[in-house]
Amino acid sequence: MLENTRHHSLIAWQRADDLFIKLHPLTLKHFPLFEKFELGSQLRRAAYSVPANIVEGFARRSRKSRLHFLNIAESSLAEAGYCIHAAYRLGYVSAELRDELDREIKAVGAPLAGLVRSTKTGLTLSAIGIVFLLVAVVWCAA
């Protein structure tokens, strides 16, 4: 039933969802016990926030509101990337795993940036349309 919602067809959401599903158990298995509730928890929350904010953005009716949630998703993706960097520096993940996760983060970021760009373009076109309409009204009234 939920498989028919708008966000399911988005590559950005699909990849972000896959990334979260991969990172969640990784933090529980690879991180030391004390980090499961610190860095591990932060990484899980950041990774969860990416697809969740894409979903919330696409549930919104206005483009401005949608853009707000897509920007949060981008920020959360950057945060997840930093958490992975920190985990590598602390010795919790190998260089190979870090590189693999970095590639996956970039694979989420590219289509997500495209969504942001297309949403901004839609806002710009809407604004141009409103200005054109106002000019036409003023011109007709004169």
Q: Minimal CA–CA distance to 12: which of 83, 82, 71, 86? A: 71
pLDDT of residue 70: 97
Tens digit of each residue's pLDDT (9 = 90 or more) over 41-67: 999 999 999 999 999 999 988 899 999
Give the three-class secondary structure for 97. helix
Euclidean distance between CA atoms 45 and 67, whole angstroms: 20
Euclidean distance between CA atoms 106 and 27, whole angstroms: 20
pLDDT of residue 2: 46
Give the three-class secondary structure for 1. coil
Tens digit of each residue's pLDDT (9 = 90 or more) over 3-43: 445 788 899 999 999 999 999 999 999 899 988 889 999 99
pLDDT of residue 1: 36
**Average pLDDT for residues 68-74, to the nearest whole number?**
97
The structure's pTM equals 0.81
Euclidean distance between CA atoms 99 and 115, whole angstroms: 25
Tens digit of each residue's pLDDT (9 = 90 or more) over 101-123: 999 999 999 999 999 998 888 75
Domains and CATH numbers, the chain: 2-141 (1.20.1440.60)
Contact 101, 45 (CB under 8 A): no
Q: 33-62: string of b/e by CB count within 10 Å (b at 16+)?
A: eebeeebbebbbebbbbbbbbbbbbbeeee
Cα 129 to chain centroid distance, Å, stands at 29
